[in-house]
Homo-oligomer: A and B are copies of this chain.
Amino acid sequence: MAEKLSGDARDAALAGLSGWDLVDGRDAIIKTYKFKDFSEAFGWMTRAAMLADAMDHHPEWFNVYNKVEVTLTTHDVDGLSNLDVTLAGKLDAL
């Protein structure tokens, strides 16, 4: 269940993430992951896709060769939710 983040809880949740930035003009967070090559990048995406689909919470992501740019937000709450923070943590742990 998605709960929109606000106030201190939001600040604390975002402070717990590493390398994620707020997106200009949107209530969303973004991070770029870099890999050795396309194969390594897409291998990571495949694992991430399984994680995301199991959560039924999906990233917006852009890939070119060894780079994957991931944007997280929750359409259902029109902004950042606990699901985004959870998914961000899982992606970082891959």
CB-based contact A52/B64 at 8 Å: no
A42–B38 touching, CB < 8 Å:
no
**Tally of this chain's copies:** 2
Bound Cα distance from A86 to B45, whole angstroms: 24
A61 at the interface (CB under 8 A from B): yes
Among B39, B59, B62, which residue has its beta carbon within 8 angstroms of that of A60?
B62
CB distance from A41 to the nearest CB of B (A): 9
Are B60 and A64 in touch, CB under 8 angstroms? yes
A38-55 vs B, CB cutoff 8 Å, 1 = contact: the mask equals 110010011001001100
Q: List 6 interface pairs A-B (beta carbons < 8 Å), by A numbering.
A: A38-B52, A38-B53, A58-B64, A59-B64, A61-B62, A61-B64
